Structure 1
Amino acid sequence: MTPDRPRSRRRRLLPAFAATAAVLAPLAAAPLPATAAEDLASRFTLAVLPDTQFYARYSADQFMPRYGNDPFAVQTQWLADHAEELKVPFVAHLGDVVDRVGTTREWEAADRAMQTLDDADVPYSILAGNHDVRNSADDWYDTDYDLANEPFVQWFGAERAAEQSTYGGSDPTGFNQYHVFEAEGQQFLVLALSWRASDATLAWAQEVLDANPTLPVILTTHSLLNIQPDGVSPKEDPYGQRLWEKLIRANDQIFLTFNGHFHGSTQLTKTNDFGHPVTQVLMDYQMAYEGGNGFLGLLEFDLTNNRISVQTASPWVVWKPRESLTSYDQAFLEEPNQQFTIDLDFEERFARFAPDFTAGTPDEPSLTQKARDILLDGFEGPEPIDLQQPGSRDDFVEVEGTLAHWRFGGTGEGVVAEGQTFEDIAGDADLHRVPITASGSDSAQVGDVTVDDDANPFSSDSAAVCFANSDKRTDRFSILATEDTAAVNNAQLENGYTIETFLKIDESWNSDANSWMKAIVRSGNRSQLPGMPWSQWDYTASPVALGLSNLKEFQWTEVPVTTTKGDRTAWSGEIILDRWVHVAMVNDPAKQTTTMYVDGAPVLRNATDTLGHSLNEDMPWVFGADWVDDHATNGWAGCIGETRVIDHPTTPEQWLTARPDLSGFSAELPTGTLPAGTVIDEITGEGTPGATVTLTGDLAGTAVVAEDGSWSIPVGEQVAAGGAAHAGMRSAAVLPRAALAPGEYAVEVRQGFGPRVSDPIGSTFAIAAAPTDPGTGTPGTGTPGSGTPGSGTPRPAGDGLASTGGTVSPIVPIGAGVLLLAGLAGVLIARRRRTGAAQAGTESAE
């Protein structure tokens, strides 16, 4: 039975506008074309709506109370308002219309949003995702459903689809539909296939193609192209390959596909059986800020210049009140996977099946630019967050107040032995593998825990600890734990906190074996906490835990310092298997909230009226399993990367995904023309603590910036006890400095962590020729250190260091350095008095 809905399709709604994430690393792609205003062409815009599930789920209890509207409704209103000027003939929804298939209010929110397009006569297709069906198991297909019990076909089935002017027909289930829209004098077919199309549905799809043999086809579906754990590169999906083999490759008409489902954005071009390209595009932003932050796809088809320009834009961001915006609120996502160009010679690509295909009249300026102008008119957005991958293992931001920082790199890959420890680099809370006999799991094996060099690309640690074969049905699990005496065990965190970690769920995860598994817990029994109220759920579980639900959602559960408040929770959306994510829990004492951030974006469901942790004294932190009824259970199926506990709330620029700032770098370098016999003793400056400073050019050396920000590179021949001489060796005995030969010199110095380096600071200088002996007309022949000019042979300019030195005379300051007069020759020391030089690792014994 079709739900009652308003049907005033001709009524145009008034505009609802007031007068994204995390930035992914770029994938190589062509930039958007620079189109001059006078560059007229045959153009139209296809709009794409990625997964809207969280907009529908949180419309009533989150978005409407905060804003008076939700992103889904704002998206469709914006498309309705601007369809004519952007020449939008069609809108394609990619599925996961709602999050919980059985919740009526979510369908009502989705219905309200799509009704806006109905009322504005903007045609669209819509399809079911895995969240829109009663059973989304991989071995169920659309022909297996009890159609009378499926909300999707009741709300968005064939009856409603038939109201679209572009509607061509639906399959017998009502889950799948096709449309034909016209733009620029040409027709295109959109084939919309819902979750897990059966063989019967694919046969229906083939009949549709056979009945429309001259039409170019855009295939939309919910699951087709996946994305690699790096969050950037494309990854083929088994179901997507099924569609490729059974439908796409043998039908030359299909030239473009779009899908959602997999969190992120990427693209892949494959070659079909006719030698022609088929471009597959993934577009899904549900794990971004506010469940996707209203981002949608705008595709400008430029039939004159043979290209499709794709951009990702958010009408929601520009609609929100200015005072509510955060760094996650960007009107456009600017990276190549969100903005790119598909070069496509339409006539040539379609010639085999549509020989009469031609571009329309070239009378339209850039629609891509027009969309940007509309969205950015009067909008002033905040600066976005830009993540950088680390350059070395030391490339992380140290934060004062860190109570524990566990890392797994540097220990070697392979099986973790019973009793093996992992260092807490901030305190005394080293983790150790609890022996199997003491863990409580009789079925565990030593090989179940390994160290793997697979790590989150934004973690500066090089490895993670991985737990395999965890299964709650057989009580198989393994754990790491702190010692009972570790100080962090009893930290109540009453001034707030930041707990962050990197997690990956094993691709073998399934609900029967692994639902409600835990990664990190503060072990104990919350029922024994004074004042703890009874709860139906988890009453004898640990006071604090981070784990995964039966729906693959992260759950953070804590009992705050005020125990009588009981359990407080935060929840993420569905997490994709076999992909690294960064999770940060931030407790703000001012707001009394604990916010969960997944890959930098705050989730919608967070803990309120909470501060710090109640705890059972002297109970350890446990990695790799839950702790219920006073024992470990329900092991983590996946990997845990470096993890840190800080005794106050922090912001993203202090997290483990952030990099130390390299811009505040200075160096005191010699310049100008220096007297004959000058000796460069050391080069100094200020930099980022922990960074490596490298001096290159005609002088060379390295140093590590000390904790106080100072650095010093001894310049000269150095030798360690019993070792060979070389430049830049730490803890080295310094051989006598030598005067530089007359000539010109050039040096550069920069700081960094591995390949991530600052801009160089460069300098050129010259050493004057030695004065001639006025009595003989020849250079002096005195002995170095005797008060007369040296008699050594000068080395040519640029040849590095000379091999002799001189005595030291009184210091005469020059600029930031000092000048030492050695006899008649000058010795320049570019050096500043400093403290803590030994911390820099470059102090030399003189």
Structure 2
Amino acid sequence: MTMIAKTARTLALGFSLLLSAAHGPVQAADGRFTIAVIPDTQNYVDFTHQRAEGFAFDARDMMVEQMRYIADNAVSRGGEIVFATGLGDVWQHPTIAIDPEHAARGFSARPLPDGPQSGMNPDRRTRGVREVEIPASIAAYRLLDGALPFSIVSGNHDYDAQWWEESWPRDLTAPQGDLRRLGMIHVGGLTEWTRAFGVDSAFFKDRPWYVAAHQNGADSAQIFEAGGYRFLHIGLQFSPTDASLKWAETVIHAHPGLPTIITTHDFLNKDGERLPHPVVNQTVVDPFDNSPQAIWDKLVARNPQVFMVLSGHHNGQSFRVDQNRQGGAVYQILSDYQDRNQAALDAGVAADKAPALGDGWMRLMQFDMDAATPTVRVRTYSTHYRRFASDEPNYARWYKPNEQPHLSDEDFLSRDEFTIPLTDFRARFGAPAAVSK
């Protein structure tokens, strides 16, 4: 279905607030509501991190715990969560050496020297992702189905293929900033991903809150209602093409005046810079793809409805605020906890063999639209440890050395527990509409 047709269909439904969470926009009961942000889950469902492969426990259960928590705390079930967004890298491994489109363009393919294809039998890897990783991901997200509107974007690990481009020297000792000396990692093909989470998947087909899609759902848009506002959310694939950005702008123009949140896998690094991963960068050799700064320049900065951008990919956390071309504030937030391995250590795995999993950490962003100046309280919660970061006495000791060793314990925690004043939100989007109590 085309974006225009899908938008027309949704508008015809009138976004009725009488619809259930499974079939239409959800309205929070008052001016306070929460958006759940799900960082990279790839290590939970990695088939090598399950009991069947000799691991200490089934790590995929940690992803299930996250989704169950979100569903149990959805507005439709008496909680405050009105929307959930997954930041990408849903699963871990590729399934093919190179996708047909890139092969037809003349790209060569070589397995990554230190990545998902390294040292692993290709047939075993393909079976693992198709028989374990993808089904586990679908099963976990199925817990959200019918509880609340949600979005999932693709990360680089969700593509069918990952490979080195042979036309670049494979020099991993090059300085991070000297991309010209690095053999470049490429990704291609979203057949498996769109089959699981695309526009025609059971999650999104005929859902009125799923208002637009591009490339079979590789990019998508959703609407949810909360705090007296109707919000537009746009999910963009990893390193989106110009076509993706133009599509997103068309969706924004089709929904004038709506405060808009964008989720994309790679946008901020942990130093708060709009720089791609020093190795995983396609823009150097492929002009069809866009870097984080290009996403800002071509889409975010020029569309005043966009007030927030969420991303993962870079292990750590960061936050920055910039003004768009019209002077409006855009809040940009990174959260990615996939390198955390305390849960494996707790299970008795030796320190030198304990893989990174994520320890169940996720972001809960509580909006308060009743305040004189609306605010967003950002908190980080572990469904595994069942506590917020500020309630875990070992939080900095466990995670700071690997993520932000230069920070004090207090500053490290402040990256995961902070409040954002939405100082210009009322001026840009007006007063909240009356909400039924």
TM range (shorter): 0.5 to 0.7
Relative to structure 1, is the Cα distance of residues 171 and 300 closer, same or farther in structure 2, using a 3 angstrom cutoff?
A: same
Are the counterparts in 2 of residues 138 and 196 from structure 1 also a CA contact under 8 Å? no
Are the counterparts in 2 of residues 141 and 195 from structure 1 also a CA contact under 8 Å? no
- Aligned runs of 1:528-543 on 2, under 5 Å? none
Structure 1 position 185, deviation (Å): 3.0
> Which residue in 2 is equivalent to 1:73?
64
Relative to structure 1, is the Cα distance of residues 254 and 300 closer, same or farther in structure 2, using a 3 angstrom cutoff?
A: same
Amino acid at match of 2:432: T
In structure 2, the gaps of 5 or more residues are 1-19, 23-28, 96-128, 166-183, 277-290, 344-356, 388-392, 400-409
Higher strand share: 1
Are the counterparts in 1 of residues 31 and 226 from structure 2 also a CA contact under 8 Å? no
- Structure 2 distance, partners of 1:154, 1:191, is 19
Relative to structure 1, is the Cα distance of residues 267 and 63 closer, same or farther in structure 2, using a 3 angstrom cutoff?
A: farther
> Which residue in 2 is equivalent to 1:114?
141
> Which residue in 1 is equivalent to 2:50?
60
- Aligned runs of 1:636-655 on 2, under 5 Å? none
Relative to structure 1, is the Cα distance of residues 345 and 162 closer, same or farther in structure 2, using a 3 angstrom cutoff?
A: farther
> Which residue in 2 is equivalent to 1:237?
275
- Structure 2 distance, partners of 1:265, 1:360, is 35
Moved more, 124-133 or 76-85: 76-85
Structure 1 position 313, deviation (Å): 0.2
> Which residue in 2 is equivalent to 1:398?
none
Relative to structure 1, is the Cα distance of residues 68 and 51 closer, same or farther in structure 2, using a 3 angstrom cutoff?
A: closer
Amino acid at match of 2:303: N
Deviations 1:361-381 (A, max 9, x none): 597xxxxxxxxxxxxxxxxxx
> Which residue in 1 is equivalent to 2:247?
204
Asked if residue 358 in structure 1 is aligned to residue 432 in structure 2, the reply is: yes
> Which residue in 2 is equivalent to 1:281?
333
Structure 1 position 180, deviation (Å): 0.5
- Aligned counterpart for 1:176 among listed residues 219, 228, 241: 219
- Structure 1 distance, partners of 2:54, 2:304, is 43
- Aligned counterpart for 1:90 among listed residues 78, 83, 91: 83
Are the counterparts in 2 of residues 141 and 198 from structure 1 also a CA contact under 8 Å? no
Structure 1 position 156, deviation (Å): 0.8
Are the counterparts in 2 of residues 303 and 346 from structure 1 also a CA contact under 8 Å? no
- Aligned counterpart for 2:198 among listed residues 136, 157, 178: 157
Structure 1 position 96, deviation (Å): 0.2
Relative to structure 1, is the Cα distance of residues 68 and 226 closer, same or farther in structure 2, using a 3 angstrom cutoff?
A: closer
> Which residue in 1 is equivalent to 2:364?
298
Relative to structure 1, is the Cα distance of residues 275 and 129 closer, same or farther in structure 2, using a 3 angstrom cutoff?
A: same
In structure 1, the gaps of 5 or more residues are 1-9, 13-39, 228-232, 320-324, 364-846
Compare relative contact order (CA 8 Å, sep 6+) and give the higher one, 1 or 2: 2
Amino acid at match of 1:107: I
Structure 1 position 108, deviation (Å): 1.0
Relative to structure 1, is the Cα distance of residues 314 and 171 closer, same or farther in structure 2, using a 3 angstrom cutoff?
A: same
- Aligned counterpart for 1:309 among listed residues 371, 377, 394: 377
Structure 1 position 82, deviation (Å): 1.6
Are the counterparts in 1 of residues 323 and 330 from structure 2 also a CA contact under 8 Å? yes
Asked if residue 124 in structure 1 is aligned to residue 163 in structure 2, the reply is: no
- Aligned counterpart for 1:265 among listed residues 314, 317, 331: 317
> Which residue in 2 is equivalent to 1:51?
40
Relative to structure 1, is the Cα distance of residues 226 and 260 closer, same or farther in structure 2, using a 3 angstrom cutoff?
A: same
- Structure 2 distance, partners of 1:259, 1:156, is 18
Asked if residue 256 in structure 1 is aligned to residue 308 in structure 2, the reply is: yes
> Which residue in 1 is equivalent to 2:349?
none
Structure 1 position 234, deviation (Å): 1.5
Amino acid at match of 1:223: D
Relative to structure 1, is the Cα distance of residues 317 and 165 closer, same or farther in structure 2, using a 3 angstrom cutoff?
A: farther
SS where residue 245 of structure 2 aligns?
helix
SS where residue 253 of structure 2 aligns?
helix
Relative to structure 1, is the Cα distance of residues 138 and 222 closer, same or farther in structure 2, using a 3 angstrom cutoff?
A: farther
> Which residue in 1 is equivalent to 2:416?
338
Structure 1 position 128, deviation (Å): 0.5
Amino acid at match of 1:358: P
Are the counterparts in 1 of residues 94 and 161 from structure 2 also a CA contact under 8 Å? no
Deviations 1:324-371 (A, max 9, x none): x997789xx981110111101364342xxx44x4165597xxxxxxxx
Are the counterparts in 1 of residues 60 and 136 from structure 2 also a CA contact under 8 Å? no
Are the counterparts in 2 of residues 347 and 358 from structure 1 also a CA contact under 8 Å? no
Structure 1 position 83, deviation (Å): 1.3
SS where residue 162 of structure 1 aligns?
coil
Structure 1 position 136, deviation (Å): 5.1
Structure 1 position 318, deviation (Å): 2.6
Are the counterparts in 2 of residues 307 and 342 from structure 1 also a CA contact under 8 Å? yes
Relative to structure 1, is the Cα distance of residues 157 and 64 closer, same or farther in structure 2, using a 3 angstrom cutoff?
A: farther
Relative to structure 1, is the Cα distance of residues 158 and 64 closer, same or farther in structure 2, using a 3 angstrom cutoff?
A: farther
- Structure 2 distance, partners of 1:135, 1:252, is 36
SS where residue 92 of structure 2 aligns?
coil
Larger radius of gyration: 1
- TM-score normalised to structure 2 length: 0.64
Structure 1 position 101, deviation (Å): 2.9
Structure 1 position 162, deviation (Å): 2.6
- Structure 1 distance, partners of 2:238, 2:59, is 32
- Aligned runs of 1:467-546 on 2, under 5 Å? none
- Structure 2 distance, partners of 1:341, 1:137, is 40
SS where residue 345 of structure 1 aligns?
coil
Amino acid at match of 2:258: L
SS where residue 270 of structure 1 aligns?
strand
Deviations 1:459-510 (A, max 9, x none): xxxxxxxxxxxxxxxxxxxxxxxxxxxxxxxxxxxxxxxxxxxxxxxxxxxx
> Which residue in 1 is equivalent to 2:102?
none
Identity of aligned residues (%): 30
- Aligned runs of 1:737-756 on 2, under 5 Å? none
Tell me how large the CA RMSD over aligned residues is: 3.3
- TM-score normalised to structure 1 length: 0.34
Relative to structure 1, is the Cα distance of residues 137 and 256 closer, same or farther in structure 2, using a 3 angstrom cutoff?
A: farther
Amino acid at match of 1:337: R
Higher helix share: 2
SS where residue 296 of structure 2 aligns?
helix
Are the counterparts in 2 of residues 249 and 272 from structure 1 also a CA contact under 8 Å? yes
Deviations 1:718-777 (A, max 9, x none): xxxxxxxxxxxxxxxxxxxxxxxxxxxxxxxxxxxxxxxxxxxxxxxxxxxxxxxxxxxx
Relative to structure 1, is the Cα distance of residues 267 and 203 closer, same or farther in structure 2, using a 3 angstrom cutoff?
A: same
Structure 1 position 241, deviation (Å): 0.4
> Which residue in 2 is equivalent to 1:134?
160
> Which residue in 2 is equivalent to 1:733?
none
Deviations 1:267-319 (A, max 9, x none): 01111101111010000000112411111111111001111100000112239
Aligned length: 306
Are the counterparts in 1 of residues 238 and 266 from structure 2 also a CA contact under 8 Å? yes
Structure 1 position 146, deviation (Å): 4.8
Are the counterparts in 1 of residues 31 and 228 from structure 2 also a CA contact under 8 Å? no
> Which residue in 2 is equivalent to 1:213?
256
Are the counterparts in 2 of residues 162 and 169 from structure 1 also a CA contact under 8 Å? no
SS where residue 386 of structure 2 aligns?
helix
Deviations 1:762-798 (A, max 9, x none): xxxxxxxxxxxxxxxxxxxxxxxxxxxxxxxxxxxxx
Structure 1 position 236, deviation (Å): 2.3
- Structure 2 distance, partners of 1:310, 1:86, is 17
- Structure 1 distance, partners of 2:54, 2:209, is 32
SS where residue 384 of structure 2 aligns?
helix
- Structure 2 distance, partners of 1:66, 1:138, is 33
Structure 1 position 73, deviation (Å): 0.3
Relative to structure 1, is the Cα distance of residues 347 and 201 closer, same or farther in structure 2, using a 3 angstrom cutoff?
A: closer
